């Protein structure tokens, strides 16, 4: 498959550098998480992440990415917004659920991760959705073992999410990550066990389950970035960059 040509196996030294980028990325997201309360603007969240990145001599690969050029360092996606929400003047409100996706380039290597969290008291449905997306990521990571295939990861995520009564996105996928934010292989959040690309030690992949309450369908807003559920139902997104090793999967975007 041409789309999977761009796979780069990392050396142990490269994994160490990616672990460092992942650590800084986690620090940026932790700073954002501390700010989540009613009245804070999504631009404030972006500024907090940028401050951490700058302090560590890092920057976000999101800025100026794509067409039209993405204008910020993080994506902030609220409620029915699934991914790629652009930070701005919007204020967080009690009961919102907020997904924040951050990338870090440090010493030429990328860390990419995202979390979803509530603002103040959230509904039982929103709580369940966040639990499911967090567990879906764990279920996917557990499949990241040499000898498995990318389809095993995809199928495990899909089965877990659909078994929980929710839907997985079709148009957006996990992806290899390394010197570039998007490398091969693509890892969709749905698929068939035993298919796809065989996993090898040194592969580094950003897994990112995107879960929707009412439908798997999405649409893009006129800003040409923000992706929302087609039916306006709640959505959530969780992501870690993870290395395949000779043994257990190594999560890179953690403290």
Which residues make up the interface to Mg ion (CB under 5 A)? 101, 112, 114, 206, 239
The CB-of-86 to Mg ion minimum distance in angstroms stands at: 14
Sign of CA dihedral 58, 60, 64, 67: positive
Distance of CA 128 to the CA centre of its chain: 18
CB of 103 to Mg ion, least distance (A): 6
Do 10 and 111 touch, CB atoms closer than 8 A?
A: no
Nearer to Mg ion, 80 or 112 (CB): 112
Q: Decide whether 25 or 148 has the Cβ nearer to Mg ion.
A: 25
- Minimum distance from CB of 51 to Mg ion (Å)? 19
Residue 14's CB is within 10 A of a number of other CB atoms, namely 19
- Say what the alpha-carbon torsion angle 124, 129, 130, 133 is, to the nearest 10 degrees: 160
CB of 154 closer than 8 Å to CB of 210: no
Where does the chain have alpha helices with state H?
A: 12-35, 42-55, 124-142, 150-163
Given CA atoms 65, 68, 73, 75 in this order, what sign does their dihedral have? negative
**By C-beta, is 69 or 147 nearer to Mg ion?**
69
Q: Minimum Å distance from CB 124 to Mg ion?
A: 27
Work out how close the CB of 138 gets to Mg ion at its nearest, in angstroms, rounded to a whole number.
17
Q: Which is nearer to Mg ion, 60 or 79 (CB)?
A: 60
38/108 with CB nearer Mg ion: 108
């Amino acid at each position: 498959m041409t789309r999977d040509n761009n796979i780069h196996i990392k050396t142990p030294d490269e994994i160490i550098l990616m672990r460092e980028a992942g650590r800084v990325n986690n620090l940026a997201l932790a700073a954002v998480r501390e700010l989540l309360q009613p009245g804070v603007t999504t631009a404030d969240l972006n500024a907090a992440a940028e401050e951490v990145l700058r302090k560590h001599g890092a920057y976000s690969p999101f800025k100026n990415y794509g067409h039209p050029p993405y204008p910020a360092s993080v994506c902030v996606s609220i409620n029915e917004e699934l991914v790629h929400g652009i930070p701005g003047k919007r204020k967080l409100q009690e009961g919102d659920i907020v997904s924040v996706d951050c990338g870090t380039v440090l010493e030429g290597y990328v860390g990419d991760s995202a979390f979803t969290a509530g603002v103040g008291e959230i509904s039982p449905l929103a709580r369940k959705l966040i639990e499911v997306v967090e567990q879906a990521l764990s279920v996917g990571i557990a499949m990241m073992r040499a000898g498995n295939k990318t389809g095993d990861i995809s199928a495990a995520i899909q089965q877990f999410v659909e078994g929980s009564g929710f839907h997985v996105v079709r148009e957006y996928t996990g992806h290899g990550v390394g010197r570039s934010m998007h490398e091969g292989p693509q890892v969709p959040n749905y698929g068939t066990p035993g298919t796809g690309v065989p996993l090898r030690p040194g592969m580094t992949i950003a897994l990112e389950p995107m879960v929707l309450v009412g439908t798997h369908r999405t649409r893009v807003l006129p800003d040409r970035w923000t992706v929302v559920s087609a039916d306006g139902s709640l959505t959530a997104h969780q992501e870690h960059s993870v290395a395949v090793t000779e043994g257990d999967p190594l999560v890179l975007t953690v403290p």
